[in-house]
Amino acid sequence: MLLCIAGLVICIFTFIRKAVNKVEDYANNLKQEMMSNMQDYSDTMAYTTPISLQSSKQIKLLKTYYPDSASVPEQFYYYLGFENYYRFPLRYPYSIHCSPFKDAGELYNELQVKRFDENDNGEIQTSINKIDRLAFDKKYLLIDQKISSTRSPDFIHHYILFSFDTEKTQEAETEKELVKLAKQKGYKGSEQLMTIEEYDALFNE
């Protein structure tokens, strides 16, 4: 009698164990398949150029600013961020990042970036932030920083000339002096600085 009960218990235990193993195998396979599908979807989305940007005049202009534009990842020009994270390419390898609004931009060097829609992807933050307005050509970036004051309700404006080739910066007292300094160095871009919102609009023209 005891042997029968023991045999029955062993059979039940074996059956339950096999059932559990099958369920675990199914769950693992399903998880791997879902992860694979998500990766495939991510890869597809990452490297699909938005139709609205394919004829962007601004992107075509940016491509002429870099001497070896064919070596630049296409996604550098076309990935403009996600939801309330915004990314605006300048002359390669630099871009401006903003969050959660299109203001107070930060300047990044993305020379080491391969995938632009990933976090911690090799981008390097420069020391330049709080960017309110800008203008640039293929060699220089003119920056107006808008910084809160602890002594006044009014904002303080800092004017910086940034070299795309060397990353060196020079400061100017006023916007007029900034433009003058840039032109002395051969700057050929617009003398009118624009907001980040205005720069964003250029990608849709």
Q: Which two tokens stand for residue 153?
A: 């309700």
Same domain, 37 and 71: no
Same domain, 84 and 105: yes
How far is residue 34's CA from residue 89's CA, in Å, rounded to a whole number?
Answer: 33
Give the model confidence (pLDDT) of 53-82 as tens digits. 666 889 899 999 998 878 888 888 988 888
Please, are residues 196 and 134 in contact by the beta-carbon 8 Å criterion?
yes
State what percent of residues in the chain have pLDDT above 90: 44
Query: Between these two residues, 102 and 153, which has the higher pLDDT value?
Result: 102
DSSP H or E segment with residue 162: strand 156-163
Q: Is a pLDDT exceeding 80 seen at residue 94?
A: yes
Same domain, 6 and 36: yes
Same domain, 41 and 85: no
Same domain, 61 and 113: yes
Each as own residue / partner, the long-range contacts of residues 201-204 (CB below 8 Å, 24 or more positions apart, any chain) are 202/57, 202/58, 203/53, 203/56, 203/58, 203/59, 203/80, 203/88, 204/52, 204/56
**How large is the average pLDDT for residues 74-92?**
90
Same domain, 121 and 154: yes
Give the model confidence (pLDDT) of 131-160 as tens digits. 999 999 999 999 999 888 777 777 888 999
Q: What is the average pLDDT score of the chain? A: 81
**How large is the average pLDDT for residues 116-120?**
72
Same domain, 126 and 150: yes
Looking at the structure of the chain, the number of domains it has is 2
Confidence at residue 53, expressed as pLDDT on a 0 to 100 scale: 66
Same domain, 75 and 26: no
- Global pTM? 0.70
Range of the domain at 29: 1-46
Closest CA to 92 of 79, 107, 110: 110
Same domain, 105 and 184: yes
Same domain, 19 and 84: no
**How large is the average pLDDT for residues 26-35?**
52
Same domain, 143 and 196: yes
Same domain, 147 and 183: yes
